[in-house]
Structure 1
């Protein structure tokens, strides 16, 4: 089972192999590859540091993000839009279906427009590939 921040569900869709550091990119590559290879993986949705955050240089002492207000906002917006429950376990394939059915370009822009990665367009391309 993987444990993921709610907003990381969207980050994963647009991930293109770029990141904050080599260590972050290696970790993210492993996570994304695992999810793509096996969509029956169970995922627990949380709103605190997760396996992706574990290798992020913005992770402060392993427990918080130096952009904590922003990531809490992103998590809440994703939980609300996708109607997911915090601390609940889902199959990744079910999460993909929920994303496909509930994310529009406008809702994606509303949630992720504040992210530093937004202007690169990677997430948009990844989500559009999933028909938003």
Structure 2
């Protein structure tokens, strides 16, 4: 499975909401698969992935309408969390990286420009991951 770097955070905060039914059905399947198969192989990328494939903001399955924004999100995840682009991890490895490297400050720096962050969807799930009350 190929995932944009910032989508590893989106998966943690996902609560069943999305752009439309097609998007949420796809996201539901991806999240369920990863959580029930923690040894799944995940390659971190900074381009269109299996989540983007069903997003209404994806243009011709080649790029996002908000390309600059999502590229910045990906770059921030890669740099702030010490994740290597084009490297394959297990999903368990990714969870370990998040629990080791993610802080509330890094989370805010990475995600504060995202519409889902503004809605508050991610904060509760990521707070549990970070063991913050």
Shift of 1:123: 1.0
Distance 2:96 2:121 in 1: 20
Distance 1:96 1:72 in 2: 22
Mind listing any 5+ residue stretches in structure 2 that lack a counterpart? Answer: none
Q: CA RMSD in A?
A: 0.8
Q: What are the equivalent positions in structure 2 for 1:71-86 lying under 5 Å apart? A: 71-86=70-85
Corresponding residue for residue 101 of structure 2: 102
Distance 1:123 1:97 in 2: 18
Distance 1:16 1:121 in 2: 11
Distance 2:115 2:6 in 1: 14
Distance 1:127 1:39 in 2: 18
Runs of 4+ in 1 over 3 A off after TM superposition: none
Mind listing any 5+ residue stretches in structure 1 that lack a counterpart? Answer: none
